[in-house]
Amino acid sequence: MRWISFIIVLLIATVLEAGNLLNVFAIGGWTIRPGILITLLVYYSFSGRARDAIICSFVIGFAADLTGTIMGPHMICFGLLGLLLNQSNQILFAKRAIYKAMIVFAVYLIAETFSHWLGLLKGLDTQGSFYSILLFTAVYSALISPVIWSILSAVSGGFAAMKSQSDRTYR
């Protein structure tokens, strides 16, 4: 795992999620923006060893909590989903863009729904149109995820190079 490139990419994605720069790409009256951190979660869960994927998932969840209103729910949900994605990466191995988009769509819906429910337990106020915004944001994130995935592959040295380095055993 290339931790320096991971930290730099995560800081850039966190600043984009927290700031107003993604509003340039926002659509609709609800200013629906893509979820970049979800694509990071899926990419790093598939591309690393189990220990690295779990650490990355919890760190990405912490970054998502920093961009949100309350601390904790995203970290728990992202960590568990990252673990599940890493354990099922042989089944869900995404070579084509449509598979990447479908995985990001499903992970976004699951992560944000459970994060919202955990936030409600902590006393978070809810909007009436939360589930509509959730669905449209999941679709937007899924549509843009193959582009982000290719950028991450270029920055991280390629998906295949990371897999070959992480599967190396020494005897």
Percent of the chain predicted with pLDDT > 90: 51
| Average confidence (pLDDT) over 91-102 | 82
pLDDT band at 160; cut points 50, 70, 90 = very low
56-67 pLDDT tens trace: 999 999 999 999
Choice among 9-13, 29-33, 84-88, 141-145 with the minimum mean pLDDT? 29-33
pLDDT band at 31; cut points 50, 70, 90 = confident
pLDDT band at 26; cut points 50, 70, 90 = confident
pLDDT of residue 123: 83
Q: Which long-range contacts (CB under 8 A, 24 or more apart) does 8-17 make?
A: 9/40, 9/152, 9/155, 9/156, 10/40, 10/59, 10/60, 10/63, 13/37, 13/40, 13/63, 14/63, 14/66, 14/67, 17/63, 17/64, 17/67
Please state the length of the chain: 171
| Sequence spans of domains, the chain | 3-163
pLDDT band at 53; cut points 50, 70, 90 = very high
Identify the residue with better confidence: 157 or 146: 146
pLDDT of residue 122: 84
Q: What is the CA radius of gyration of the chain?
A: 16
Q: Which two tokens stand for residue 158?
A: 């390629």
pLDDT band at 170; cut points 50, 70, 90 = very low
Percent of the chain predicted with pLDDT > 70: 91
Classify domain 3-163 at the CATH topology level.
Arp2/3 complex 21 kDa subunit ARPC3 (1.10.1760)
H helices present in 68-129, as ranges = 73-87, 97-121
